[in-house]
């Protein structure tokens, strides 16, 4: 049973993509509070943007035909008929042979179809000398060029960036339906773990680093975090605290349990929280093999390795995409990886994905990735690293100079 | 005078890097509130991490010498002398020929120098059969392996990531000195601009999109934002509102003013706020040429183009690094760009940096960047884009299939 549940990295990501969705109902928020949240509705524009045809330069609104053939040596002559004011309606119809002064952003008058730039004309009393011809539509944006009435402006599943809020503001939306931030609860386990603010450590004790790092990483992904504290290696205490947190959260993360005894507790707790239970029991990856993923009702529970550096790597690989699913992001979202060359040979075992921490260094125009070596328990290796490189399960290693994809840490 | 102040992209970035620093004094915050802020102190560890030598596996603490030559056919035999409890002091001295059971994370007893994994032994009563030899230090982390006492763990200027908070927690720090979030005030100008929540637009009016997009982008960079509203194209009203906001903020952003008239106002206002005044008046870039940068006292003022899409591109290029300077980040921080191939030829004028919006698409293992065309006034082009590509000032364009660096939008 356990044997069948050890999965590859790709299989684990597929389980995550298939099994989980936002737990809570969408809420309607003012635009100004929606940055970074995920749209829960398709937005169709009830207006056109811009609302009216606008000049994109300072100049004169004209009929293009009146400028055809105009040049420095043979200017066209047009009658200046007033001036369009910024933010005001262009009242006057523009007739053949006429020009109206217009500022950038000014409304194009009826009858005009283009704008001559101020650099290409000369005013002589009421007469405009035009030294350059324009074509219809030149130096202007037509009403509806940006957004048409009835157009699908944005689809549900889009994480709202500044520009997305901008287009929503442009079409007159003042609030949007978004998924609430998922609530992530974190519980650390282990008889040796003490709170991170304990000053004098007894021999054998270590501070709870994972609550800090995993909590911060979850916040950086947009989640709200409940810090569940630390429980000892005792099944009843562990289960009752886990159950309590699970009821308040959309995702429960259990950290610790690297020793055989604690791992067994962790698995039993996860299995006891509800059906269908454990989906992934171990991933063929280094570091991070003891990763466990379960589901109780519709909600996920994830068991992370106890070593802080392994726990953070597993967080980047699996927990971050899981949180994105709970936020409502469509699975096709962009992963931000950069290409770099590896600075030395790294051997690896076939059949297992290896993740190597790297520091990036620019040589000329190219990024080079230098491996940061150290046992997976060393948190300082992550501080020295900018990201990590995967050595795929089917490879025996990577050669110096080879291009690799670097998954950047926040 | 103006002529000399038109700068290239690189020159403008250099002015930003050289001229600006955090405006406000560092504050001391609890670790849990410091995520994303920038360290204002060098942190030197008063402790070693780990605090004691630990096992990294479940197994038996031994003296490596006692296992030399051990194999499946010729095991070494050791006396089992008790069991080390998790989180407890290892009390018993380990002597020659002895082994003590130890869990992952357990404290290595005095006398032991390595750990044999549980997979490589067999217990027969009080006798341990060891089937694999280990070398000194194997399967354990020594006290201080992660961090040494007196070591510089992190230098001022580091933006605190989850792993950085982790190492600070590991060395027993509970609070850190960081620079406070910079305060960014935004003021929109233009007679045609109306608040973005106005429902019925009169002809000639457009909604204030830049306050929304630039405000959100500044928040995404870690700033606090004061939304200064909208002023008309009137010098006195503009100057008095700008001055009021400038006093409250670390950075004042002026948005709008694409027409010649408004541009003049904007420059006069920026010049009037104090010495040394305007540093950059225009950048040789498309879009975004009318960008202005000034300094009054120690604080920056930036004039952004009025077109929402141009304004956001200029924000990514110049305002984001400027905010980072005000946050206290060392100038060498990593820029997150990915390499992609361009999907078609794009011509460009020599002597000017062009920024082309692109959508990323994965073809096999490679990213391809597809240009998203549209006039710079169209905010919808940014919604369709994942990032932008620079065509350097010394290039006549880029050819289909050429590698380009994509600056990703948030």
Averaged over B193-211, what is the pLDDT? 90
Q: Do B209 and A169 touch (CB under 8 A)?
A: yes
Q: In chain A, which residue's Cα lies nearest the Cα of B154?
A: A383
Q: What is the pLDDT of residue A333?
A: 47
Q: Does B164 touch chain A (CB under 8 A)?
A: yes
B216: nearest CB among A35, A52, A147: A35
CA-CA-CA-CA torsion sign (B261, B267, B270, B272): negative
Chain A stretch 102-161, residues whose beta carbon is closer than 8 A to a beta carbon of chain B: 103-107, 118, 141, 145-147, 153-154, 161
Q: Do A190 and B86 touch (CB under 8 A)?
A: yes
Strand (E) or helix (H) holding B309: helix B308-314
Give, in words, the CATH class of A2-24+180-327.
Answer: alpha beta
**In chain B, which residues have their Cβ closer than 8 Å to the Cβ of A380?**
49, 146-147, 153, 167
Of chain B, the percentage scoring pLDDT greater than 70 comes to 94
pLDDT over threshold 80, residue B67: yes
Q: In chain B, which residue's Cα lies nearest the Cα of A359?
A: B334
CA-CA-CA-CA torsion sign (A369, A353, A305, A409): positive
Give, in words, the CATH class of B2-24+181-327.
Answer: alpha beta
Of chain B, the percentage scoring pLDDT greater than 90 comes to 58
**CATH tag, A54-141:** 2.170.190.11
Local structure of B91: helix, strand or coil: coil
Q: Do B162 and A205 touch (CB under 8 A)?
A: no
pLDDT over threshold 60, residue B382: yes
Q: Does B172 touch chain A (CB under 8 A)?
A: yes
Q: Does A226 touch chain B (CB under 8 A)?
A: no
Q: Do B219 and A86 touch (CB under 8 A)?
A: no
Alpha-carbon distance values, A279 to A7, A331, A352 (Å)? 10, 19, 19
Local structure of B188: helix, strand or coil: strand
**Tokens 């293992």 identify what position?**
B365
Q: Is residue A67 within 8 Å of residue A130, measured between CB atoms?
A: yes
Averaged over B341-364, what is the pLDDT? 85
Strand (E) or helix (H) holding A237: helix A235-248
CA distance linking residue A106 with residue A108, whole number of Å: 6
**In chain B, which residues have their Cβ closer than 8 Å to the Cβ of A90?**
203-204
**In chain B, which residues have their Cβ closer than 8 Å to the Cβ of A31?**
196, 212
pLDDT tens for chain A, 410 residues long, are 445 578 888 899 999 999 999 999 999 999 999 999 999 999 999 999 888 999 988 999 999 999 999 999 999 999 999 899 888 888 889 999 999 999 988 999 999 999 999 999 999 999 999 999 999 999 999 998 888 999 999 999 988 989 899 989 999 999 999 999 999 999 999 888 999 999 899 888 889 999 999 999 999 999 999 999 999 888 999 999 999 999 999 999 999 765 566 777 888 999 999 999 999 998 888 777 889 999 999 999 999 988 888 888 899 889 999 999 999 987 654 455 677 899 999 888 777 778 888 888 888 777 899 998 776 667 677 777 888 888 887 888 899 998 888 887 75
pLDDT over threshold 50, residue B358: yes
Q: Does A35 touch chain B (CB under 8 A)?
A: yes
**In chain A, which residues have their Cβ closer than 8 Å to the Cβ of B90?**
203-204
pLDDT digits (tens, 9 = 90+) for B260-318: 667 778 889 999 999 999 999 988 887 778 899 999 999 999 999 888 888 888 998 89
pLDDT digits (tens, 9 = 90+) for B209-247: 999 999 999 999 999 999 999 998 889 999 999 999 999
Chain A stretch 51-80, residues whose beta carbon is closer than 8 A to a beta carbon of chain B: 51-52, 54, 56, 58
Q: pLDDT band at residue B332, thresholds of 50, 70 and 90?
A: low
DSSP letters for A177-219: EEPPPPEEEEEEE-TTEE-TT--SPPTT-EE--HHHHHHHHHH
**CATH tag, B337-408:** 2.40.340.10
A203: nearest CB among B86, B107, B118: B107
Q: Is residue B173 within 8 Å of residue B43, measured between CB atoms?
A: yes
Distance from CA of A182 to the nearest CA of B (A): 19
Q: Does B254 touch chain A (CB under 8 A)?
A: no
Q: In chain B, which residue's Cα lies nearest the Cα of A366?
A: B339
Q: How many CB pairs under 8 A join A and B?
A: 289
Q: pLDDT band at residue B333, thresholds of 50, 70 and 90?
A: very low
Domain A27-49+146-178 belongs to what topology?
A: Molybdopterin biosynthesis moea protein, domain 2 (3.90.105)
A87: nearest CB among B36, B191, B216: B191
Residue B119 is classified by DSSP as G
Q: What is the pLDDT of residue B372?
A: 86
Name residues whose C-beta falls within 8 Å of residue A331's C-beta, 6 or more positions apart in sequence.
Answer: A17, A325
Q: Do A212 and B147 touch (CB under 8 A)?
A: no
Residue B37 is classified by DSSP as -
| Pairing relationship of beta strands A285-286 and A366-371 according to DSSP bridges | unpaired
Q: In chain A, which residue's Cα lies nearest the Cα of B362?
A: A334
Q: Do A196 and B169 touch (CB under 8 A)?
A: yes
CA distance linking residue A114 with residue A146, whole number of Å: 17
- List chain A domain ranges: 2-24+180-327, 27-49+146-178, 54-141, 337-408
Q: Is residue A96 within 8 Å of residue A115, measured between CB atoms?
A: no
B221, B383, B409: best to mutate for the A interface, most A CBs within 10 A: B383
Q: In chain B, which residue's Cα lies nearest the Cα of A159?
A: B410
**In chain B, which residues have their Cβ closer than 8 Å to the Cβ of A334?**
360, 386, 408
Q: In chain A, which residue's Cα lies nearest the Cα of B210?
A: A166
Q: Does B331 touch chain A (CB under 8 A)?
A: no
- The phi, psi pair for A5, rounded to 5°, reads -90, -5
Cβ of A82: how many Cβ atoms within 10 Å?
Answer: 14
Q: Where are the alpha helices (DSSP H) in A78-234?
A: 162-170, 210-220
Q: Does A362 touch chain B (CB under 8 A)?
A: no
**In chain A, which residues have their Cβ closer than 8 Å to the Cβ of B339?**
338-339
Q: Is the peptide bond before B276 cis (omega within 30 degrees of 0)?
A: yes
Of residues B349 and B143, more confidently modeled: B143
**In chain A, which residues have their Cβ closer than 8 Å to the Cβ of B286?**
none
Q: Does B360 touch chain A (CB under 8 A)?
A: yes
CA distance linking residue B298 with residue B262, whole number of Å: 25
Q: Does B212 touch chain A (CB under 8 A)?
A: yes
CA distance linking residue B295 with residue B289, whole number of Å: 19
Q: Is residue A242 within 8 Å of residue A187, measured between CB atoms?
A: yes
Token digits of residue B88: 């407890």
Q: Do B339 and A338 touch (CB under 8 A)?
A: yes
**In chain B, which residues have their Cβ closer than 8 Å to the Cβ of A118?**
260
Q: Does B338 touch chain A (CB under 8 A)?
A: yes
Reported ipTM: 0.85
A233: nearest CB among B86, B191, B258: B86
């Amino acid at each position: 049973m356990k044997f069948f549940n050890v999965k590859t990295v790709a299989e684990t990501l597929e389980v995550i993509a298939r099994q989980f969705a936002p737990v809570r109902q969408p809420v309607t928020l003012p635009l100004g509070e929606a940055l970074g949240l995920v749209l829960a509705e398709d937005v169709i524009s009830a207006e056109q943007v811009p609302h009216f045809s606008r000049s994109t330069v300072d100049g004169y609104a004209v009929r293009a035909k009146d400028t055809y053939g105009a040049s420095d040596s043979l200017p066209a002559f047009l009658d200046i008929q007033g001036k369009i004011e910024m933010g005001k309606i262009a009242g006057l119809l523009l007739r053949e042979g006429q020009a109206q002064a217009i500022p950038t952003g000014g409304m194009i008058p009826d009858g005009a179809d283009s704008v001559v730039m101020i650099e290409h004309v000369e005013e002589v009393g009421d007469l405009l000398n035009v030294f350059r011809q324009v074509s219809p539509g030149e130096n202007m944006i037509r009403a509806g060029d940006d957004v048409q009435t009835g157009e699908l402006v944005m689809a549900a599943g889009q994480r709202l960036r500044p520009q997305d809020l901008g287009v929503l503001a442009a079409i007159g939306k003042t609030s949007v339906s978004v998924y609430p931030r998922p609530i992530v609860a974190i519980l650390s386990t282990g008889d040796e773990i003490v709170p991170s603010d304990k000053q004098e450590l007894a021999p054998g004790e270590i501070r709870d680093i994972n609550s800090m790092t995993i909590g911060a990483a979850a916040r950086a992904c947009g989640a709200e975090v409940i810090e569940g504290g630390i429980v000892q290696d005792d099944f009843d205490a562990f289960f009752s605290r886990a159950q309590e947190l699970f009821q308040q959260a959309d995702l429960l993360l259990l950290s610790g349990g690297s020793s055989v005894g604690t791992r067994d507790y962790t698995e039993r707790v996860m299995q006891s929280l509800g059906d269908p239970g454990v989906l992934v029991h171990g991933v063929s990856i280094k570091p991070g093999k003891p990763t466990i993923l379960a589901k109780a009702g519709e909600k996920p529970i994830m068991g992370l390795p106890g070593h802080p550096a392994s726990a953070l790597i597993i967080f980047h690989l699996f927990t971050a995409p899981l949180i994105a699913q709970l936020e409502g992001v469509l699975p096709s979202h962009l992963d931000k990886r950069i290409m770099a060359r590896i600075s030395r040979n790294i051997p690896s075992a076939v059949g297992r994905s290896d993740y190597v921490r790297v520091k990036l260094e620019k040589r000329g125009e190219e990024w080079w990735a230098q491996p940061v070596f150290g046992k997976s328990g060393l948190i300082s290796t992550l501080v020295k690293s900018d990201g990590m490189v995967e050595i795929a399960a089917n490879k025996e290693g990577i050669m110096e100079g080879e291009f690799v994809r670097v998954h950047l840490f926040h």
